[in-house]
A = this chain, B = another copy of it.
Amino acid sequence: MTTATTTHEVTYVDAISQALDEEMTRDERVFLMGEDIGTYGGAFKVTEGLLQKYGEWRVLDTPLSESGFVGAAIGAAMMGLRPVVEMQFADFISCAFDQITEVAAKNHYRWGAAVPLVIRAPFGGGVHGGPFHSECPEGWFFHSPGLKIVAPSTPYDAKGLLKAAIRDPNPVLYFEHKFLYRRIKAVLPQEDFVVPLGKADVKRRGRDLSVITYGAMVHLALEAAELLNKEGIDLEVVDLRTLIPLDKETLYESVRKTSKVILLHEDNKTGGIGAEIAALLAEECFDCLDGPILRIAPPDTPVPFSTPLEEFFLPKVSDIVSGARRLAAY
């Protein structure tokens, strides 16, 4: 456990690598599968050096077949191993959709077989990836009972949630944001830690308005909060961290305090997690709402490639600022 933690700052992507490395050392059942994760260290170099350290039977380069290797991971998980699978880009998870939703998600419910499997999926835009290298596929999966879903926004959460995911007895989709990989740094604790699944985190306390979000958008919300602070609008920023199971209590508590809500995500608006949270609030916190529930999310289009289009597509700090002003004045 001494290998990876340090006192200097580590990036979000390094936090993920550390979690993998430490879990592989801690538990020999943990192994990795994916395309080009061995010799090459993965398209984003997350698994660099792990083949050398753990050998080719714990860091497996697979043929180009997402459905096949997710299925294989399911089988290995049922036999007692702890596979962590890498999608080269989250976008390709569509190829493994059937294995994830029909096999991994339903096995325990149907016949009692636990599937302790983690699927890591580098997701999100802002990297000029175009429609097939920028997707946020989480919206497809929170509608599939039997899956857990996490999406960290900081190196601390990235490391702690990945460890928790690996130790969880269920299939967990771990969405890591490509835009954050080398942009966000933090000093991490020396000792082993986990961030429990199912716990949201209030990243900034505030009185006037709750922004509920996750992933890269957390940082936009925090930026907006600083700007709005100068105008006397005090944002609370709630980072979901885990999408399923949803930490309803933390959400409700925040909304009960502020009475006003912005739901912010990078996934397409229609049918995104914001829809679900709005519905929960409109049912369970109706009386404490002092204004409409605002959603800030991209339009219902694929992620366009060209810079001005992608900028238009992605939520911006200014969207949050103007939304918050509107709500504050309500």
Contacts and interface: CB of A to CB of B under 8 A. Distances in A.
Interface of A: 91, 94-95, 97-98, 101-102, 105-106, 109-110, 131-132, 139-140, 142-146, 244, 263, 267-268, 270-276, 278-279, 281-284, 286-287, 289, 291-295, 300-302
8 contacts: A97-B97, A140-B140, A143-B268, A145-B268, A145-B301, A281-B282, A286-B291, A287-B292
B139 A109 contact: no
Contacts of A110: 131, 302
Contacts of A291: 286
A106 B302 CA distance: 7
Contacts of A270: 142-143, 145, 244, 276
Contacts of A140: 101, 140, 143-144
Nearest to A145: B300
Given A94-B101, A95-B98, A143-B272, 6 more contacts: A139-B271, A145-B301, A270-B276, A271-B271, A271-B273, A286-B293
Task: Kindly report how many copies of this chain are found in the complex they form together.
Answer: 2
B146 A302 contact: yes
Nearest to A298: B145
A147 to B, nearest CB: 10
A271 B272 CA distance: 8
A132 B102 CA distance: 8
4 shortest A-B CB distances, which residue pairs? A143-B271, A278-B279, A286-B292, A97-B97
Contacts of A102: 91, 94, 132
B278 A282 contact: yes
A287 B302 CA distance: 32
Nearest to A106: B302
Contacts of A272: 143
